[in-house]
Amino acid sequence: MVTKEYKLTIIKIIKFTIVFLIVDFVLGIISNQLFYSQETGKYARSTHAVEKTNAEIIVFGSSHAHRHYVPKIFEKELGKTCYNAGAEGQQLLYHTALQEMILKRVKPKLIVLNIDENFLYTSKQAYDRLSDLHPYYAGHSKELSAILGLKSRFIDFKLFFKSYQMNSTIVHALRYYVSPQLDYHGYRPLYGKINPNKVNSHTKEEVKEYVELIDDNFVEVVEKFIDNARNNGCELVFVTSPTFNKVNHDKNKSFIRIKEIIATKKVPFIDFFNSSDFNGKSELFHDFSHLNNDGAELFTKQLTKKIMDMNLINYNKKMIE
């Protein structure tokens, strides 16, 4: 009698598993189509970077990369095509995984990584937001498995299911279909400037005290990011974006460690922190952390000049003009 119940259970489990896999496959394909049909929005930009771009210069980084690096100025000043693959709220784990997926297909001449001073500090969000990469797992499991594995031991099992790969993507897809979010080769400008009334309270030099700890995984991936670029024959430059306030980073362990890695690995580094061309200039900033379009254009112009001065890329201004 009990054996009969066991058998019945096993048969039902098999039936359910088969039906679920079919449902997952069919609805997963529809979700997949919907996902890859996006033309604007954050997923459309990352998909373009992973699957389509042939740009000679690719920019990586958080919102500071996304909002500060103007591809058309790179193209105008250096004569090289450029794509801004910066992603808001993302950190080194994401950028390194994205870089690996891109390098599988194309080898850009120059990779620019915009460094945030706190990139190496522990951050739960940095792990949580890796879910933005799940939709690419089907085609890039080899590149993604190690980094996504830092978030969950069972990630390969979970991502076996298309429904999990496409988790939380449908609203984005529909939202940007209804209301497109335009970008210019990945760059989305910010407009407006800081309210002058708020400026006074933010003009003094900041000396922050940091209590956060360094995450060893983040240290590993920044080194991996460098090695990936080198192994694929790409020039690499690390850049810090301008800030509204002068910031003293002497006590910032994350930034100190990044600079040590930069020195050890001999990575070209262009530091715009505390640049007098930007500090305190409210007309160039959208908020205290992000440049507006005018600031971004000025910053990108200055950056391209430094890239030329450092001979990081064989620029050909006339070719584009």
Q: Does 176 bind other proteins (CB under 8 A)?
A: no
Q: Does 171 bind other proteins (CB under 8 A)?
A: yes
Taking the least distance from each CB to other proteins, the nearer of 152 and 248 is: 152
Reduced to 3 states, what is the DSSP secondary structure of residue 110?
strand
**Site for other proteins (CB under 8 A): which residue of 6, 54, 191, 200?**
6
Binders in 138-157 for other proteins, by CB under 8 A? 151-154, 157
Taking the least distance from each CB to other proteins, the nearer of 27 and 319 is: 27
Beta-bridge partners for 291: 285
Q: Does 31 bind other proteins (CB under 8 A)?
A: yes
- Residues of 221-252 as b/e, b for ≥16 C-beta within 10 angstroms? bbebbbebbeebebbbbbbbbbbbbbbebeeb
Work out the burial of residue 215: count CB atoms within 10 Å of its CB; fewer than 13 is exposed, 13-18 middle, 19 or more buried. Answer: buried
Q: Does 88 bind other proteins (CB under 8 A)?
A: yes
Are the C-beta atoms of 290 and 63 separated by less than 8 Å? yes
Work out the burial of residue 204: count CB atoms within 10 Å of its CB; fewer than 13 is exposed, 13-18 middle, 19 or more buried. Answer: exposed
| Cβ-proximal residues to 271 (8 Å cutoff; 6+ apart), any chain | 239, 240
The length of the chain, given as a count of residues: 321
Q: Does 37 bind other proteins (CB under 8 A)?
A: no
Are the C-beta atoms of 115 and 154 separated by less than 8 Å? no
Q: Count the residues of the shown chain that bind other proteins, applying the rule CB under 8 A.
A: 35
Q: Does 216 bind other proteins (CB under 8 A)?
A: no
Rounded least distance, CB 36 to other proteins, Å: 16
Taking each helix axis as running N to C, give the angle between helix 170-178 and helix 2-36, from 0 to 180 degrees, rounded to the nearest 10: 30
Taking the least distance from each CB to other proteins, the nearer of 20 and 36 is: 20
**Site for other proteins (CB under 8 A): which residue of 72, 76, 104, 158?**
158
Q: Does 23 bind other proteins (CB under 8 A)?
A: yes
Are the C-beta atoms of 16 and 154 separated by less than 8 Å? no
**Site for other proteins (CB under 8 A): which residue of 32, 122, 123, 163?**
163
140: enclosing H helix or E strand? helix 137-149
Rounded least distance, CB 89 to other proteins, Å: 8
Taking the least distance from each CB to other proteins, the nearer of 172 and 286 is: 172
Part of the chain binding other proteins (CB under 8 A), chosen from 15-23, 202-210, 265-273, 300-308: 15-23
Q: Does 210 bind other proteins (CB under 8 A)?
A: no
**Site for other proteins (CB under 8 A): which residue of 166, 194, 267, 298?**
166
Spatial separation of the C-alpha atoms in residues 86 and 113, rounded to whole Å: 9
Residues at the interface with other proteins (CB under 8 A): 2, 5-6, 8-9, 12, 15-16, 19-20, 22-24, 27, 31, 88-89, 128, 131, 151-154, 157-158, 161, 163-164, 166-168, 170-172, 175
